[in-house]
Amino acid sequence: NALSAAAGQQWSLNTVTSDTLILVNTASIIAWNASGKKPNYGVGGWRQMLFLKSHTSVLDRIKYTQLGIPTEDLLASLFDLKKLHFSRAVDQQRLENKNVPVSPSATLADVDMLLYWLPQAPALRMPATWYTFTQGGPVIKSYRDEERDGTWVEISQLYQHRGVCSQTATFMSGVIA
């Protein structure tokens, strides 16, 4: 499922037509109609969090009930989500030993948002946006290093992240400019 924000609905504009709750509710309805599951988690970029913290539609909804500024937990409850994650990753575009500042770029996580549904616990025949599968048990290797007078222990595990039911998610593109 996909939803593209129109130019007037982008949260970075902070206008009457860029109501954040309407866009998130529309994305939830799209996932609900496709799967019968309402998204309970969300992932976005840090720039989105910065725009949401000062957006008039968010501030108007909480100004008489909350002190301070909106947090991730407060925004999650406003959007009726269990948890809302904002990525603080930085894309480093400089060469080594060059004096060029590192700055956050408009990467995919900055301008797009994903709302998805995950169950409380995995179960057979239970749809979810994705599951993380493990293969086999942990592999433990231990060996002695006489040169350093110590024992080295390596533990490894194979994980596979698989999309199971994409209908339980809605990808919102272009929520900020």
Taken as a whole, the chain contains a residue count of 177
Q: What is the pLDDT of residue 158?
A: 87
Considering the entire predicted model, what is its pTM?
0.76
Which residues, including other chains, have CB under 8 Å from residue 16's CB and lie 6 or more apart?
none
Query: Which residue, chain included where needed, has tokens 């998805």?
Result: 116
Rg value, the chain, Cα: 21
Q: What is the pLDDT along the chain (177 residues), one digit of tens a residue?
A: 888 888 778 888 888 778 888 889 999 999 999 998 999 999 998 888 888 888 888 888 888 888 778 889 999 999 999 999 998 876 666 666 666 555 555 555 678 899 999 998 888 888 888 888 888 888 899 989 888 889 999 999 888 888 888 899 999 888 887
Q: What is the pLDDT of residue 101?
A: 57
Nearest to 104 by CA among 55, 173, 49, 45: 45
Dihedral pair phi/psi, residue 92, rounded to 5°: -85, 120
* DSSP assigned state of 13: G
Q: What is the pLDDT of residue 7?
A: 76
Q: What is the pLDDT of residue 115?
A: 92
Sign for the CA dihedral angle at 97, 98, 101, 107 comes to: negative
Check: CB of residue 167 under 8 Å from CB of residue 35: yes
Residue type present at position 58: V
